[in-house]
Structure 1
Amino acid sequence: MDLKDTETNEGSDPLIFGRVLDGKGGARPIDRHNVDNWKPDVAGEILWLHLRRDAPEVLPWLQNDLGIPEPTAELLVSSATRPRALREGDTLVATLRGINFNPDAEPEDMISLQLWSDGRRLITLRKQAMQTPRDIVALLDAGKGPTDAGKAITEIVEQLVLRMNDTIVAMNDQIDQLEDMDIEEDYEEILPRITSIRRNSLALKRHMAPQHEALERISRDAPSWFEEHDRREIAESIDRLRRYLDDIDISKESAVVLQDELRARSMASNEHATYMLTIVAGIFLPLGFLTGLMGINVGGMPGVEDGDAFWIVVALCFGIMALQLFLFWRWKWL
């Protein structure tokens, strides 16, 4: 069976792929007909099923054939995808999120992955295609994959967290580029990019913060089949996720600083333009009053008959303008 074709072929069949882990890093495929009555042939075998969460048959299959309690099955197919984790007896239930690398997707469009495991079976569910399960099953098919359910869960968590790094690094690179650009010349290009970075940072933080809490819950409350080395691996992923959260905060703050600088430059430019208009209006206001007064066309105005009035007014206007400029310079308005 071609894994790539199976992963992208959306249909009514809830099973995307099934593998039986042999406990040595390898796995063999298993089809839908052999899943319901599956029992390990040898000690250490683990059943992993990767399902479509939105397939019509998935809920009754989980409840009736796989024996998952109704409230848990409804949680696994629910559209409420806020990251969380809980323990139900000897089973572990979790909802996690990963970066959406599908075509035309934005980083903040994170994909949810639900998982359920009792240590002997591992069931993962998704709505949109995800790269992480494909990578892990490829390792299994090559004989280099996880050996048990706990290790498979830690591999999934590690891959989901590691893939966030590319998006965060890309945002930091964008900020570095924006800081090197000329704010005044590239204002129209910089502003929308800053807005996009802030929006992405807020969206990632909104999903990754509860994911951090979910991973801590797994590390602390997972059943006994989740071994000590699995808890250490989860702890490493928690530390890495915490660093990513710090990097997101830095990216967000850097974007805010750039946006504030843009806003300050824009306000300064507007204030300077308003100031210059005020200066020009201050210069021409008395000149306009003078020329208006001299143009009221009243008989007996001095200098009208001999033709010298125009030049007198021009000279007077230049004198007033020179006096104003001198006073503005003296008062440090210019």
Structure 2
Amino acid sequence: MKWPPTQMSLMRMHWLVWAGVWIIIFLSLIGMDGLPASLIFASIYTVFYALIIHGNANYLLPRLYRKGRIKAYVAAVIVLLSVAGISKGMGVFFIYNNWFAEQKETFRYIYIFNYLVAGVLTYILSFLYRIALDYFTLKRHTEEIIFQKTQAELNLLKSQAQPHFLFNTLNNIYYEAYREAPRTAHLIERLSEIMRYFVDESPKEKVLLSTEIQFLENYMALEKIRIRHGVDIRFIKESCRADDYVPPMLLITFVENIFKHGIDKSSSDNAIDIWLVRSNGSLYFETRNKMPQQPQINGPSGFGLKNLQQRLTLLYGDTYELNTNASGPYFIASLKFPVN
């Protein structure tokens, strides 16, 4: 199976490109300037080009221009080109005049002007570099999505050993239990619905929000069985529409981690507050739980939160908001993302 490219492979590509630039400059200079001068000047020129291209493409464009800070961006570009041009001009003149010139030359400001013009041309090329970088980044994200989807499908196939036989067996157990213990039968029904969700809904790219809510409620109902003194769960839903679609398994991370790390099993004062609100084309999901007195890891952490962040980035880019923080005795986790 082909693995998706990593950030390290992109870094290697960058180093290879700049090594190629250095070699081209070196070969163009060695015929006139000789080996020692060509080695030094090729390095200076490469640093000059890299400073302008990376400075504009990786810092000024994303941090100033794309955030609408146009005046600050223009000022920063002027400073970048001036510093790079003056540094290159003064550096090349000093090294050449003191190390390689047979007769020392007088410094002329035309040197600086020429390097400033070269800097402007390099600045223009930096936009092509930014376009290429965005293309490869998008391509890498696309390959990661395809790879993760393939892995999920393979994992699903492994876990689907005779699912219908299992569901039919659970249904038979449900009807038997219903006669003697209706509450137990109801829990078996919820377990069956969770398993059907994993088999039928989780492989989909998006599911109905109502299906996702039902999955959360079934999960919480089963988890409550393990809490000796019980837990008070308040699940508030506001303005949620029947035709809303969301990616499956997106909201479960917060709830799952509360039951894993945010419940004090020796206390009778456990409460979970959950809000799911639709507003202005976005869904806002928040959980709040009282932190246990015994030291534990509270809230989403480790691989759960890391995987959630990676998935959200692949799905929504930078249009989502994910926050976790402690506020007094409570731990609060919130997520906001576009719907439909």
Common fold by TM > 0.5: no
Give the structure, 1 or 2, with the largest relative contact order (CA under 8 Å, sep 6 or more).
1
- TM score, norm. by length of structure 1: 0.24
- TM score, norm. by length of structure 2: 0.24
Kindly name which structure, 1 or 2, has the bigger radius of gyration based on alpha carbons: 1
